[in-house]
A and B are shown apart, each in its own frame.
Chain A
Amino acid sequence: MTNTLKSIFTSLLAFALVAASVPARAQLSIEIVGGGASQIPITVLPLAGEERFSQKVSEIVSADLQRSGLFRLGSQGGARPFPSEASEVDYRYWRNEGAQTLVLGRVIEAADGNVEVRFRMLDVGRQSQLLGYAFKVSVPQLRVTAHRIADLIYEKLTGDVGVFATKIAYVVKSGDVFELQVADADGHNPQVVHRYREPIISPQWSPDGTRIAYVSFEQKKPIVYVLNVFDGTRRVVASFEGSNSAPAWSPDGRRLAVTLTKDGGSQIYMMNADGSGLTRLTYSQSIDTEPNFSPDGRHILFTSDRAGSPQIYRARVDGVGEPERVTFEGGYNVTPRHMPDGKAFVYITRTEGRFNVAIQNIASKQVQILTSGRLDQSPTVAPNGKMILYASEISGRGILAAVSSDGRIKQRITAQAGDIREPTWGPLTNNRR
């Protein structure tokens, strides 16, 4: 195995998103404001030949790993040229440089205009190969290929699934204009998929990553739409009398839970993803909203003020039995979102006038407050459960921020202009897992 490369020819076309969308003006920038206690040392060398392309693969890989807060990037040393094959590595030199894990490779232009990206990750101490892959891609796919390489490195060294190649969606408010944007998880390549002069809230990626359900006020009242991000087609799925909001996808992507006021009061209903087959799920005199499916699809968590203040409840999706209250600390607990393993959920809690992201274990009921902003809201969990993206503010301006599920690593994501809010983290892409 030592010197072999695995070839990956998978269709990366899935990343060529939204023919109908337009590039957004404001690029997002991510800044790390806290780090893990113990960081994994890694040395990423420039790939031979990558300098001929605008997307420098090794720089994107390094940025991904560093942003995760779990890695410490080592010195690239003074020896030139950089090795690009395992046979060229002087292990004693790299041991002296303090390197433990070395990433190297090359980008080769093929005759058909495509490129081959070859990379290896070597264990310097054992002088052995940990990873080796070759990707044949088109030039515009260099960026996502770099994210894939970062995912492979992350998975090998941490044991968790990497999410660098996933997408996020969020709402940007600039003046009176609201834009629903889709971007890479590192904030690059933002695309506007819906723009209107009325508010947009509650976007939610479908589990297969092809659609986004969201609420738009463009008809002067909240209506739930489902947008196909690949072909730009859009469908109204809930437009009943009163307000229609809070869409949540079932894990199989075939059903939606929504909040409607058509029968008086905000109550939770279930429907097929095309808006057909409506049935009512909750029956109360109070506000019931913000449904979120458990990963096994059998339960929802939701927000209800049936006990006087907003608290989080758990109900069976088949409607059997009474909803069970799950939060008890504090007078304001809202926006529940399951962790991917189904064992815990994150939500927004109010403590001493601040609104923060908290995580609660379902079995032990143990609570940990993860953030310290004044007005944090709308948490969304990365598909590997390691990071939570949420909306926050700095001196009155909306920003996104992220925190690791253990609360140690913190990131801040800002747009060049406008208020950014309502994030939703997309799923792992279809050729993963």
Chain B
Amino acid sequence: MKNAVLALCLSFIVAACASQGQRAEIEQRDLFDQQQAEQQREAARQAEEERQAEILREQEELRRQLEEQQRRQQELAQQQEEQPVIQPITGTGEGETRLATDPWSQLQDDSPDNLLAQRSIYYDFDRYDIKDEYIPLVEAHAKFLMQHPELNVVVQGNCDDRGSREYNLALGQRRAESVKRAMVLLGVNDRQVEAVSFGAEKPVATGTDEESWAKNRRSDIVYLNEPE
């Protein structure tokens, strides 16, 4: 930049001192051309610098996300270790690598620490709030859906068959919607999750006792096109 200013000043001096006006004009044009080229180079350099900075920022963001994932996994592993059951040390970490190749194998991995193999959230009578114990399950599916924007789920809300079939249909819709809302809040694309209700019409247990009713008050997360 300094060179350009210097050249510009010089050109004015030259022009003022010149006895032949035509020569001065030519020199001035040459200087202007030089100056323009200089400016273009400068703009290109700035763009390159910004691009480098952007790449750095993206790398930083990716690193942060990775750390967040690792932290979550550690938390989950910790939670599971707290339970009085012997757990294999592998699992989620191993699943992470498999996930890149086949999402279904991770979903269907039936090792006890794989939250993705668990698909049901259970409720108290006439309630639709997600109980604390099911939050890790919803988070695991939300994370998985974020990693796999090509996958879609239907959340099916169900109720026990006491009271009113129509009220239960509406309550089942609420249960499904609450799971969908939680997933969307965690970052899942709204279009990946559909909430539907079966009310009290599709019980998994047909008894008329609390044990059966409790099994029927649930939301099921159903992955579309999941192989058997």
Interchain residue pairs A-B with the least CB separation, the first 8: A199-B201, A266-B170, A334-B164, A287-B170, A246-B166, A335-B164, A290-B166, A289-B170
Nearest residue, chain A, Cβ from B160: A375
- In this complex, how many residues of chain B approach chain A with their Cβ under 8 Å: the count is 23
Residues A213-247 near B (CB distance < 8 A): 217, 220-222, 242-243, 245-246
Name which of B30-38, B145-153, B192-200 contacts chain A.
B192-200
Partner of B126, one of A199, A221, A266, A309: A309
| Cβ–Cβ contact A334 & B208, under 8 A | no
Q: Contacting A290 at CB < 8 Å: which of B167, B171, B173?
A: B167
The number of chain A residues with a CB under 8 A from chain B is 35
Are A422 and B166 in contact, CB atoms less than 8 angstroms apart?
Answer: no
Q: How far is the CB of A269 from chain B (nearest CB, A)?
A: 14
Closest to B165 in A: A201
Interface members, chain A 343-365 (any B CB < 8 Å): 348, 350, 355
Nearest to A310 among chain B residues (CB) is B167
The reply on A396 being an interface residue by CB < 8 A is yes
CB pair A377–B164 under 8 Å, yes or no, is: yes
- In the assembled complex, the CB of A296 is this many whole angstroms from the nearest CB of chain B, namely 23
Whether, in the assembled complex, B161 has its beta carbon less than 8 Å from a beta carbon of chain A, the answer is yes
A interface footprint on B169-196 (CB within 8 Å = 1, 0 otherwise):
1110110010000000000000000001
Interface set of B (CB-CB < 8 Å, partner A): 126, 161-167, 169-171, 173-174, 177, 196-199, 201-202, 206-208
- Return the contact of A287 from the options B163, B171, B196, B201 (Cβ within 8 A): B171
Residues of B within 8 A of A350 (CB): 163
Q: How far is the CA of A259 from the CA of B166 in the complex (A)?
A: 9
A72 contacts partner chain B, Cβ-Cβ < 8 Å: no
A201-B201, A289-B170 given; A378·B165 CB < 8 A: yes
30 A-B contact pairs sorted by A residue (CB < 8 Å) = A199-B202, A201-B166, A217-B198, A222-B169, A242-B173, A242-B196, A243-B169, A243-B196, A243-B197, A245-B170, A261-B170, A261-B173, A266-B174, A287-B170, A289-B167, A289-B170, A290-B164, A303-B164, A303-B167, A309-B126, A310-B126, A332-B126, A334-B163, A334-B166, A335-B166, A348-B163, A374-B208, A375-B161, A396-B206, A396-B207
Q: What B residues does A309 contact at CB under 8 A?
A: 126
Question: B residues within 8 A CB of A201?
Answer: 165-166, 169, 199, 201
Closest to B167 in A: A334
* Shortest Cβ distance from residue A155 to the other chain B in the assembled complex, whole angstroms: 34
Task: Write the residues of chain A forming the contact surface with B, with a CB cutoff of 8 angstroms.
Answer: 199, 201-202, 217, 220-222, 242-243, 245-246, 259, 261, 264-266, 287, 289-290, 303, 309-310, 332, 334-335, 348, 350, 355, 374-375, 377-378, 393, 396, 422
- A243 CB contact (under 8 Å) in B126, B165, B173: B173
18 extra A-B contacts, CB within 8 A, seeds A245-B170, A334-B164: A199-B202, A220-B196, A242-B173, A243-B170, A243-B173, A245-B166, A261-B170, A289-B169, A289-B170, A290-B164, A290-B166, A303-B166, A303-B167, A310-B126, A335-B166, A374-B208, A375-B208, A396-B207
| A355 interface neighbour in B163, B171, B177, Cβ under 8 Å | B163
CA distance A201 to B199 in the complex (A): 10
Q: How far apart are A350's CB and chain B's nearest CB, in angstroms?
A: 7
Q: How far is the CB of A326 from chain B (nearest CB, A)?
A: 16
The answer to whether B167 and A287 touch across the interface, beta carbons within 8 angstroms, is: yes
The answer for the CA separation of A375 and B173 in the assembled complex, in Å, is 22
CB–CB A393/B167 < 8 A: no
Shortest beta-carbon distance, A265 to chain B, in Å?
8
B183 to chain A, nearest CB (A): 16
A302 CB to nearest chain B CB (Å): 10
B208 — which chain A residues lie within 8 A by C-beta? 374-375, 393, 396
User: Residues of B contacting A310 with CB < 8 Å?
Assistant: 126, 163-164, 167
> Shortest beta-carbon distance, A371 to chain B, in Å?
14
* CB-CB nearest in chain B for A171: B165
Q: Which residues of B contact A334 (CB under 8 A)?
A: 163-164, 166-167
Which of B167, B196, B201 counts the most A-chain CB atoms under 10 A from its CB? B167
| Nearest CB on A from B156, distance (A) | 10
Contacts of A265 in B (CB 8 A): 173-174, 177
> Is the CB–CB distance between B198 and A289 below 8 Å?
no
CA distance A300 to B82 in the complex (A): 54
Q: Whole-angstrom distance between the alpha carbons of A155 and B174 in the complex?
A: 48
A245 neighbours in B (Cβ, 8 Å): 166, 169-170
Bound complex: CA of A202 vs CA of B170, how far in Å? Answer: 13
Which of B163, B171, B177, B201 has its CB near the most chain A CB atoms (within 10 A)? Answer: B163
For A202, list chain B residues within 8 Å (CB): 165-166
Q: Taking each of B169, B174, B196, B199, which has the highest tally of chain A beta carbons within 10 Å of its own beta carbon?
A: B169
